Amino acid sequence: MSELGAAPRSDAATNGYALVPATSVDSPALLAFAAATWPELDPQARIRAFWWRRAGPEYAVAAVHRPSGTMAGLCGGRHCVFRIDGRDVPAVAISDWYVAPAHEGKMLGRRMVRHFQKPERFLYAFSISKAAIAYLGRLGWSEAYRSSLLLLPVPPRLASHFARLRRDAGLSFEWYERAGGEPLGGLGDALDRIEAGRSAAPAHMRRDAAEWSWRLSVCGGRRYRFAVAFRDGEPVGYVVVRRMMPGRGGALDWLRTAIITDIAAARDDAVVLDALAGEATALAAELGARAMLTATTAAAHRAALARIGFISPETPLVGRLLAPRAPQFMWLPRGAGQGLSAGDLSLSFADVAIDLDL
């Protein structure tokens, strides 16, 4: 295993550990780490779910105890490109951030996160635990903010019946289905043109052909259904729906839950977003889903989904059940992240590893 870098001299507690690409850790060491970290789960199933095992070595780092060769920690970094203040900047979303119980208190968590920290890079995290929030706060990250978790419990076939009536007369649609490793074809051109038409604010991950080609290369057995909206022959938005992977959602498995992994429209056009929300319900109906789920920090996306019937944390009474379950997000307010506020960021399942976990 090749070492990525020596520990800072001030981190004396970490000197007995090497940081290596997580993909270089052999299966027995990885299985032992999974068994120690998630004793309630089947370790074989857990490591099969690691998306970074299908990606390059730069996407995840492991802390290895030098004397014993034991894997002690893991931190994934989902690389992408963000559009911030009108310019493209490299970004990394922290994911799969764990330290084995026997190796806690060695500052390994800090060292692994800082491995992904670079002056020119936007560093952020979405769907993080209370312990992670406290830890990142001590490392100088922003305070934690909640996204909106949205759920459509009504059978999507009923919702789609009304949704299709809401289409704007000026819009037409094309539909695509893509699975892991499949080329985008003509869909890629539409994605590039939609991204070019999006405004620079709020800050968002670029959703172009390059991003989607990478995602399909690491998505495993997932199959995505796209609905692309056109106005006067020009693509102006798209939405992506798929079934949640079996065994990942507990009660959501029983509901055959579909998730909206991505939704985007040029200039966040409300008419286009409403139509895309309707298309999402139609796609979920075709998948036989009984419920739909997504999360977003974008007010325009939340409003469009609420208009089609989604329950959000703002929904009276039942919304209070969703609010505490909504993913929280933080970022490092330095470099590209300096000066941002929570309202400046548009985040969803697609911007992090959640789409590759559920």
Q: Which alpha helices (H) appear in the chain, and where do they start and end?
A: 27-37, 43-48, 108-115, 130-138, 156-163, 186-197, 209-218, 251-254, 270-286, 299-307, 319-322, 354-357
Q: How confident is the model at residue 13 (pLDDT cuts 50, 70, 90)?
A: low
Residue 243: which H helix or E strand, with range?
A: strand 234-243
Do 253 and 246 form a contact (C-beta atoms < 8 A)? yes
3-state helix, strand, coil in the chain (%, to 5): 40, 30, 35
CA distance 311 to 315: 6
Q: How confident is the model at residue 164 (pLDDT cuts 50, 70, 90)?
A: low
CA distance 344 to 200: 10
pLDDT at 279 over 70: yes
Q: Report pLDDT for 1.
A: 33
- 28 three-class SS: helix
pLDDT at 152 over 50: yes
Q: Report pLDDT for 114.
A: 94
The strand pairing partners of 329, in sequence order, are: 126, 145
Do 88 and 82 form a contact (C-beta atoms < 8 A)? yes
Q: Report pLDDT for 2.
A: 30
Are 12-146 and 148-326 equal in CATH topology? Answer: yes
Q: Which homologous superfamily is 12-146 in?
A: Gcn5-related N-acetyltransferase (GNAT) (3.40.630.30)
Of 195, 180, 177, 178, nearest to 235 (Cα)? 195
- CA 86 to the chain's CA centroid: 22
Instruction: Name the one residue in this structure whose structure tokens are 């992904």.
Output: 116
Q: Residue range 106-128: average pLDDT?
A: 92
Domain covering 148-326 in this structure, CATH number: 3.40.630.30
Q: pLDDT per residue over 199-255, tens digit each?
A: 766 889 999 999 999 999 999 889 999 999 999 999 999 999 999 876 555 555 556
Q: Residue range 22-47: average pLDDT?
A: 93
CA distance 253 to 291: 10
Q: Report pLDDT for 168.
A: 56
Residue 8: which H helix or E strand, with range?
A: none
Q: Residue range 60-89: average pLDDT?
A: 94
Identify which of 67-76, 253-262, 345-354 has the greatest average pLDDT.
67-76
Which letter does DSSP use for residue 338 in this model? T
Residue spans of the domains in the chain: they are 12-146, 148-326
